Amino acid sequence: MIFFKIIFTLFAVSGAFLVWQRRREGLLSIRGTAWWLLIWITMLVMAWYPNSVQTAADLLGIGRGVDLVIYCALAFLLLTIFRLSVKLESVQRDITKVVRRNALDDKVGRASKDAARPDFEQII
């Protein structure tokens, strides 16, 4: 059991370090950093004090601690998928707007260049 705790601690500390590194690079907001650090700390507590999970499960009326972990993980994954889906659609909309704007700007730019260019057939 102690081997699992040590390995999991190394894993969680590595995860927390990556979160902090992304924050320093400006790729993660303060809210996102706090959220992910809370998750890693919670996972450490669950690894080092497994009875705390069973106690929380008993308080919530869930039979086993592992069931509580699975329910929470499933809820977290579904929430994350939902947020990513919404963000992806937002990015797609933004890209479409930029492409349309650039296409219109190119068309207007070409039209004004064509109007300023003399027609050589009329000069001859």
pLDDT in tens, 69-119: 999 999 999 999 999 999 999 999 999 999 999 988 887 776 666 555 555
pLDDT tens, residue by residue, 3-31: 989 999 999 999 999 999 999 999 999 99
Identify the sign of the CA torsion 24, 26, 27, 28. Answer: positive
Domain match, 40 and 14 both: yes
Domain match, 70 and 112 both: yes
Indicate whether 124 belongs to any domain: no
The answer to whether residues 40 and 12 touch, using CB atoms and an 8 Å cutoff, is yes
Domain coverage including residue 38 = 1-48
Structure confidence at residue 82 (pLDDT): 97
Indicate whether 4 belongs to any domain: yes
Indicate whether 79 belongs to any domain: yes
Domains of the chain: total: 2
Indicate whether 92 belongs to any domain: yes
Indicate whether 37 belongs to any domain: yes
